[in-house]
Amino acid sequence: MKFIKAGILMAAGLVTVTVQAGELFDMAAIRDASTLDVKVLKNWYPVRGEVMTRQKLITIRVGELVPGKEYRLPVRLIVPHDRKAKGFHLTGGHQLRNMQNDFPPRGSDAELLRGGVGLVFTVVQVLPASGLPELGRMAEKRFIETLNPKHSIQYWGWPAALMRATTAAYAEKKHFEKGKVAMSGGSKNGASPSVALLQDDRLTALHASVSPIWPSPLRLCDEKAWANLRKANGQYAARLRSLGKRVDERRIFNHAFLGGTFGPVYNRDAIEAGHKWSDLKRLARLMSPEVFVALKLTELKKRGAEVLFHPGTHDFVAFDLAWGGKHYPEVPIYLRANSGHGIREPHPAAERGEQNKAAFLLHHFFGGEGLLPAPRVESRADEKKVKIKVTFPEGAQAQSGQIWWIYDRGPDGSAAYLEDLFPENQSAPMKYQKEDNSWNFTLPREAGKKHIDFFSNHRKTIRRGGRTYKTYTSSPYTRVPLN
């Protein structure tokens, strides 16, 4: 059995903690409704909207992030007004101040309820925003001291909140019956459901945006990768200075997320607390199968779970597209050009009116037409050009193909990766070839360039119940050496 051993300077009075791998969560405790300590704020009552619903507001005990300190959160339960809900759509992207408000369902939420699927809301936010600032400070301090992931809000707290909300919903036996449970959200609300999906087989689907997917070397605290990152960032800063531009040293060299294992970078704080780099590497490697969906995609498919990721092309949490596209091309993704945390103006050729999440959820619960699967990409470079072929499996018919490309983009996790966008004039339609169900394009080579990155997006319009949904699937993000 492997172990997470937080090697800490005993002279500093800190505690050495040992946690067995595979025991991040006590799933029997997670599923134990008798320990929820439910407090009812609003009992079941009717709420009008596009569809009539019954709703209930409670608070539940998630557990203890630090010994003796309870972690409680609100949960809103929503079911059709005239029957039990079979399964539900679970989300944590709600604010504490809004949880008291009735929720009149609209859009895809209303469609789910019409079909007999419930909704479950909770709050997956930083602990000060959850009304628990002292617990947040204590948990962060304890995690840095011990490197015990059970004190980490991102490794343990937020995923546990989603799983305990699931337990709370199914404890309402007069209002919920067992069915599929799909989760969706972005950032921490994409990462936390990823962990929960891997741990809890009651959960069956995930639509996640701007959140981690795969265990790239930076995330695993590979020292060579981190040395290369520092070098790349130094070169980028020098380039900006040579152009007379302002250099934000903090953003370039000490970004709070770039390079982080599964969220904010805690490496420096852990080293200052007395840990060694080997401790960080050990923790990252043992957390890897607990948190990265790409590693368990085959297992998830076997149990009928579905996933779709929207990582963004310039996101500081999902900062490793080139590595992921090479090592996990089978992961279904959609890339909106020049998107991510903080990007306000996507590429002018980026899709408008994309409806992936609604189509994904409706298909998961009710069947019918699904989104396109991840295609296969091939590329071949010669002295003048790069030929690209994106091929879909037989029977998967895309209605369009659009490609984007960029020369000499900075390495994954770097400031240049984040800041240098796909140029406006480097996007074009692709040509369809019926014989092998492929989309094709020839990219020009530019003299002196070291590599070229590209991806393509492909539309499928899904029709359901008199409505149409525009969906898009991307090819694996690909980097082609040109030297």
For 45, residues 6+ apart whose C-beta sits below 8 A from its C-beta are 54, 55, 56
Tell me: pLDDT of 22 over 70. no
* The predicted structure's pLDDT at residue 30: 98
Q: How confident is the model at residue 465 (pLDDT cuts 50, 70, 90)?
A: confident
The structural domains of the chain, ordered by start, are 3-202 (no CATH), 223-260+308-481 (2.60.40.10)
For residue range 326-379, list pLDDT tens digits in order.
Answer: 999 999 999 999 999 988 788 999 999 999 999 999 999 999 999 999 999 999
Tokens of 469: 């949904």
Tokens of 244: 């007379």
CB atoms within 10 A of CB 37: 10
For residues 317 and 187, the answer to whether their CB atoms sit within 8 Å is yes
d(C-alpha 308, C-alpha 208), whole Å? 6
For residues 417 and 340, the answer to whether their CB atoms sit within 8 Å is no
Give the count of alpha carbons within 13 A of 242, CB side only: 6
Residues of 281-300 as b/e, b for ≥16 C-beta within 10 angstroms?
Answer: ebbbbbbbebbbbbbbbeeb
Tell me: pLDDT of 207 over 60. yes
Tell me: pLDDT of 282 over 60. yes
Tell me: pLDDT of 145 over 90. yes
Average pLDDT, the chain: 94
Tell me: pLDDT of 97 over 50. yes
**More confident: 50 or 219:** 219
For residue range 400-429, list pLDDT tens digits in order.
Answer: 999 999 999 999 999 999 999 999 999 999
Global confidence as pTM: 0.94
Q: How confident is the model at residue 16 (pLDDT cuts 50, 70, 90)?
A: very low
Amino acid 31 reads R
